[in-house]
């Protein structure tokens, strides 16, 4: 009995997999559709990181018909996650912080240097657009996974359940961190091919070890030959190893 108890006590929990589709907006409707079709072919849900403000074209409010698409995805089991307001960094913050944002997030680190009032205003604007279109969200992923401490305070005050960073999923109600590094391609950047190979190899090694694996899909990934295939193989490796795909909200509440 002692040996049986020790064996069961050390048995690893199944690996959890979150696949997130980033930069969901009217301007990227086709890329989002393609990623969602891939997810559907594997029978897994995705977390749709939605930009409500103007980005690469009209805002969500200017294209209300696209809300029907997002609503249909939510009804299938996907999750909508607020992904900033405009997905563009402004002049806020120190030179160092702005430089880090440009290097890490290629100018998309919108929330990296905001004070609490500035962050609260953008959160209100984003939620208002979603609410008026009949859409809802309890989670937030800052563009570039970068947010100032003041922005995180604004998120808690606004009642968001969780936020994410490069390193994990942060439960804003309990303070708990579910660790799991966000894996993402950098299309067009130096080392793009090597990075893709390393991501696939890392996922294969981690797939059966338990914990949280996060794979981020971006619209521009689809412009680069081979990145989609690499991503699909990585996702399939996790599923083949018994991993369970879920949304960010499911990670937080389980």
Q: Render the burial of 41-80: b for 16+ CB within 10 Å, e for the rest.
A: eeebbbbbbbbbbbbeeebbbebeebbebbeebbeeebbb
Residue 2: per-residue pLDDT: 47
Domain ranges within the chain, ordered by starting residue: 13-253
Right CATH for 13-253 from 2.130.10.10, 3.40.1710.10, 3.20.20.370, 3.50.50.60: 3.20.20.370
**Enclosing H/E stretch for 164:** strand 162-164
Maximum CA pair distance of the chain?
65
Cβ 101 vs Cβ 89: under 8 Å: yes
pTM of the model: 0.89
For residue 54, report the phi and psi dihedrals to the nearest 5 degrees: -70, 130
Supply 112's token pair. Answer: 């990296």
pLDDT at 1: 42
Please state at what angle helix 192-206 crosses helix 227-240, rounded to 10 degrees: 10
Q: What are the DSSP calls for 71-130, one per residue?
A: HHHHHHT-EEEE--SSS---S-S-HHHHHHHHHHHTT--TTSS--HHHHHHHHHHHHHHH
Report whether 180 contacts 169 (CB < 8 A). yes
Question: What is the three-class DSSP state of 215?
Answer: strand
Summarised one tens digit per residue, pLDDT across range 102-128 is 555 555 789 999 999 999 999 999 999
Backbone phi, psi, residue 205, to 5°: -70, -30
pLDDT tens by residue, the chain, 254 residues? 444 434 444 456 789 999 999 999 999 999 999 999 999 999 999 999 999 999 999 999 999 999 999 999 999 999 999 999 998 765 665 555 555 555 555 557 899 999 999 999 999 999 999 999 999 999 999 999 999 999 999 999 999 999 999 999 999 999 999 999 999 987 766 678 878 888 999 999 999 899 999 999 999 999 987 899 999 999 999 999 999 999 999 999 98
Q: Which residues contact 58 (CB under 8 A, 6 or more apart)?
A: 26, 27
- Exposed, middle or buried by CB within 10 Å (0-12, 13-18, 19+), for 165? middle
């Amino acid at each position: 009995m002692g040996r049986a108890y020790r064996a069961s006590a050390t048995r690893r929990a199944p690996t959890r997999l979150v696949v997130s589709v980033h930069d969901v907006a009217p301007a990227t409707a086709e890329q989002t559709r393609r990623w969602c079709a891939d997810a559907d072919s594997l029978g897994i849900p995705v977390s749709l990181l939605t930009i409500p403000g103007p980005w690469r074209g009209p805002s969500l409010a200017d294209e209300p018909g696209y809300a029907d698409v997002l609503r249909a995805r939510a009804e299938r089991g996907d999750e909508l996650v607020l992904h900033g307001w405009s997905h563009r960094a402004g002049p806020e913050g120190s030179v160092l912080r702005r430089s880090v944002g440009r290097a890490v997030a290629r100018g998309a680190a919108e929330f990296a240097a905001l004070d609490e009032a500035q962050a609260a205003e953008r959160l209100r604007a984003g939620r208002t657009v979603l609410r008026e279109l009949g859409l809802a969200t309890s989670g937030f992923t800052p563009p570039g996974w970068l947010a100032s401490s003041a922005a995180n305070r604004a998120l808690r005050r606004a009642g968001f359940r969780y936020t994410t960073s490069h390193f994990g999923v942060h439960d804003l109600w309990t303070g708990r961190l579910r660790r799991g590094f966000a894996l993402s391609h950098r299309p067009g950047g130096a080392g793009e091919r090597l990075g893709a190979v390393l991501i696939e190899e890392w996922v294969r090694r981690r797939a059966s070890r338990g914990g949280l694996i996060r794979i981020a899909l971006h619209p521009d990934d689809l412009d680069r030959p081979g990145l989609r295939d690499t991503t699909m193989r990585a996702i399939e490796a996790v599923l083949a190893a018994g991993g369970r795909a879920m949304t960010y909200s499911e990670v937080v509440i389980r």
